[in-house]
Amino acid sequence: MSDAPAAFISHASKDATLAQRLSASLESRGVRCWIAPRDVNPGQPYAEEIVRGVAGCASFILIATAEAIASRNVMNELEQAHRTNRAIYTVMVGQPKLTGEISYYIARLHWLESKDGGLEESAERLSEVLHGVRRWEAVAAPPSFGRRLRYAMPAFAGAMMAILVSLVLLAILALYAFHRVKHAIATDYTSLGWTKLHATETAADASVAVNGHIFLGDAGLPFSKIRLNVLGENRAGKTEALDLTPMLPKDTTGDAAISFGVPSGLEKLHTFLMIPASAGPFCVEQAFRFETGTLHESGQPQVKAIAQPDRCK
């Protein structure tokens, strides 16, 4: 096991025992962890030590309990990991309500779920990912409409409140036809699909290599049904369009990796993912910007209904 830590474990102070168990399980599998207060240097400012710990690890593991989600310190650590582009691996313990702030960082990510607080299975999957044996998307649960409902819906206490919620749900089902419900699901981009792009500019006179990952949602469609276009824009407003559909695998579902080149000097990239969902064809548009030579997401994906499954505009 290397002396350099591979993963920063973020947890609420009340979950110290839980975090220590996960750390011990990972380190027994050859994954060195950074965990407070064990790895905090005595006499040093605590905040600086946390920043040092996050910066010194390539991966960030969030133990997401109800206490952690309510913790300001955990939120600060998560913001630091997001700002420094660390890989964020979430282990949900129980079924805590996601607040709007923490949901911004983790709702679109895959995560592991531990309903009873048992972390051995989570440690095994995390160690496989951190050792490069398996991909995180292959061992963790993807975003979905159902998952969003489970974790975003407030907890209701008491039998009377449960009855009231049931009556409200029945009223909604009576007011809206089944196709309306399917349409609401389809217009949520996590049920359709989205793209992630990463790129680094190499030289001012060279093309830029872009690596991407395409994720399909809950419909189970093969990539042969999907279309993907990219539109690049430079500072002068000149645009260049690329049809990346031929790069998509034909028979697989779920997710796929792609690589393509764009001219240097571009300021923005837009991806257009066209998906023929059951409620009609939809386009998921995402914006990316080049900043200090690196490609970053710019805002949330936008979903709109389209007239034809091969045209976003």
> What are the 10-residue block averages of pLDDT along the chain, 313 residues in total?
81 95 95 95 93 95 94 94 94 85 86 81 94 92 71 47 66 59 60 83 71 81 89 86 89 85 86 83 89 81 83 74
Element containing residue 113 per DSSP (H, E): strand 111-114
Q: Closest Cα partner for 281 from 251, 252, 312, 253?
A: 312
The dotted CATH code for 7-149 is 3.40.50.10140
The DSSP annotation for 5-74 comes to --EEEE--GGGHHHHHHHHHHHHTTT--EE-TTTTSPTTS-HHHHHHHHHHT-SEEEEEE-HHHHT-HHH
Question: Which residues on adjacent β-strands are paired with residue 185?
Answer: none
Q: Is it true that 7-149 and 189-305 share their CATH fold? A: no
Question: Which residues on adjacent β-strands are paired with residue 285?
Answer: 272, 302
Q: What is the pLDDT of residues 231-241, one digit of tens each?
A: 989 888 888 88
Domain boundaries, given as residue ranges, for the chain: 7-149, 156-186, 189-305
CB atoms within 10 A of CB 12: 19
Q: Closest Cα partner for 217 from 243, 244, 191?
A: 191
Tokens for 141? 């649960």
Fold for the domain defined by 189-305? Immunoglobulin-like (2.60.40)
Q: What is the pLDDT of residues 126-152, one digit of tens each?
A: 999 999 999 999 998 888 766 666 665
pTM of the model: 0.49
